[in-house]
Amino acid sequence: MSTTTHEQTKPFEWYRSLGPNGRRAFAGAFGGYGLDSYDYQVLPLGVTAIAATFGLTTGQSGLLGTVTLVVSAIGGAAAGVLADRIGRVRTLIITVTTYAIFTVLCGFAPNYETLLVLRALQGLGFGGEWAAGAILVAEYAQPRYRGRAVAFIQSSWAVGWGLSVIVYTVVFSVASQDMAWRILFWTGALPAILVWYIRRNIKDAPNAAEKRATSANRGSFRAIFQGNLLRTTVFAAILATGVQGGYYTIFFWLPGYLRTERHLTVVNTGGYLAVLISGAFIGYVCGGYITDWIGRKKTFALFAVLSAIIVVAYVNIPTGANTLVLVLMFPLGFCASAIFSGFGSYLAELYPTDLRGTGQGFTYNFGRAVGAAFPTLVGFLATSWGVGGAMVFGAVAYGIAVLALLGLPETRGKELT
């Protein structure tokens, strides 16, 4: 007993417990989600320059973000079905390849309409990668470590985001605005290297693959809306809607808010975002440990409330108080990211093996699709309220997430069946 307790307290024992195959799966999923983040973030970072190039309104700019998220819901739901039918690893390869190709093509868009279509197609891969990668690692992880193991996958979002900000700062400092946003999209070719690694080194978890192969219901949309799973699916989808509606409202518009309403330069914006991203990375990691310690539902509720409070405080900072803006960047990034840490483990534990990809892919990406309406709403309201004032709608989304928890069970420590 004492030996087991000692092993559990060792730093990164969760990582060692994955075993050789699980650690390779972790590397592939971590890289996939990190580059997924990179390819997504080039749009928010470049949206001001894109708007100037094509003469867009804030509503049209917001639509670029919304269409990505809406189509990503389709991609995520489809990838969940594929993950249950053809396996987690093969689905991971398909999704990474898709989002890389269409991100690069966005850089060649001759007009707004073409960019809108290409960005939508990029969303197919963007939405699907997380479903496959998170499940892959969850099925290798031991129950007592599952929250933190999958949370570290989630933390790669901050790594990819940080990389995109570094590239953004460099590119926009040396290239003209009209060309810089295109170069930013072209760097989205990076995931091609990862696909090669995944194909050579990663396999599905053996036990999960065996259970999935013998099921007649694997990958069935109908099954996640029947019996006891109906309630789970409905409330999990609402939870995902609230969390992602709040998140995307804040982080789609934040770079533009810093430049237009806080009047920061490109370099200063990058510096402020570096503080935000540092908070996000630590939030993802700490959130994973917290969800293993106090449970999935309490973690969601805690960080939903804190995120809502910080958003309201953030957009009410007086003009000129940019030091306070900088100070609040860290807790804003921490709380808005820590709430995501429990998603991978929680959704995996809510569904059986043969429907895990389908259930997780649908609920998480339904949340993306409906939550995607929030950035567009902010874009249209910004014309009269200002971007900062309209961003308060993010707090409303977090309230929706808290209400959804009332219809869901606690799953901490659950064995995957």
pTM of the model: 0.80
Task: Categorize the per-residue pLDDT at 347 as very low, low, confident or very high, splitting at 50, 70 and 90.
Answer: very high
Task: Categorize the per-residue pLDDT at 5 as very low, low, confident or very high, splitting at 50, 70 and 90.
Answer: very low
Per-chain mean pLDDT for the chain? 85
pLDDT in tens, 34-44: 988 898 888 88
Residue 228 lies in a domain: yes
Q: What angle do CA 354, 130, 285 make, to 5 degrees?
A: 115
pLDDT in tens, 147-164: 999 999 988 988 898 899
Tell me what pLDDT residue 24 has.
94
- Tokens standing for 409? 């069970």
Which among 406, 116, 384, 80 is positioned nearest to 242, based on CA atoms? 406
Q: Which residues form the domain of 321?
A: 19-199+224-407
Residue 237 lies in a domain: yes
Tell me which of 5-19, 94-108, 346-360 is least confident: 5-19
Q: Is the pLDDT higher at 225 or at 326?
A: 225
Residue 216 lies in a domain: no
Tell me what pLDDT residue 6 has.
43
pLDDT higher than 80, residue 273: no
Task: Categorize the per-residue pLDDT at 125 as very low, low, confident or very high, splitting at 50, 70 and 90.
Answer: confident
Task: Categorize the per-residue pLDDT at 388 as very low, low, confident or very high, splitting at 50, 70 and 90.
Answer: low
Residue 6 lies in a domain: no
Q: Which of 168-177, 251-260, 375-384: highest mean pLDDT?
A: 168-177
State which amino acid sits at residue 282: I
Question: DSSP state, 188?
Answer: G
Task: Categorize the per-residue pLDDT at 1 as very low, low, confident or very high, splitting at 50, 70 and 90.
Answer: very low
Tell me what pLDDT residue 351 has.
94
Tell me what pLDDT residue 207 has.
79
Q: Is the pLDDT higher at 390 or at 227?
A: 227
Q: Cα(245)–Cα(237) distance, rounded to whole angstroms?
A: 12
Tell me what pLDDT residue 4 has.
45
Q: Is the pLDDT higher at 367 or at 10?
A: 367
Tell me what pLDDT residue 193 has.
81
For the chain, the first-to-last Cα distance in angstroms comes to 26
Which among 335, 341, 347, 300 is positioned nearest to 14, based on CA atoms? 341
Residue 182 lies in a domain: yes
pLDDT in tens, 397-415: 899 999 999 999 999 988 8
State which amino acid sits at residue 134: A
pLDDT higher than 70, residue 259: no
Residue 14 lies in a domain: no
Q: Is 403 left (phi over 0), alpha (psi -120 to 50) or beta?
A: alpha
Tell me what pLDDT residue 230 has.
96
Residue 215 lies in a domain: no
Contacts 24+ apart (CB under 8 A), 268-277: 270/165, 270/166, 270/168, 270/169, 272/325, 272/326, 272/329, 273/165, 273/329, 274/162, 274/165, 275/326, 275/329, 275/330, 275/333, 276/329, 276/330, 276/332, 276/333, 277/158, 277/161, 277/162, 277/165, 277/333
Q: Please give the tally of structural domains in the chain.
A: 1
Q: 214, exposed or middle or buried, with CB in 10 Å at 0-12, 13-18, 19+? A: exposed
Q: Is the pLDDT higher at 250 or at 282?
A: 282
Q: What angle do CA 170, 174, 176 make, to 5 degrees?
A: 120
Q: Is the pLDDT higher at 380 or at 114?
A: 114
Output the domain CATH number for residue 79.
1.20.1250.20
Which string of b and e fits 37-48 if b means at least 16 CB within 10 Å? bbbbbbbbbbbb
Residue 5 lies in a domain: no
Q: Is the pLDDT higher at 388 or at 330?
A: 330
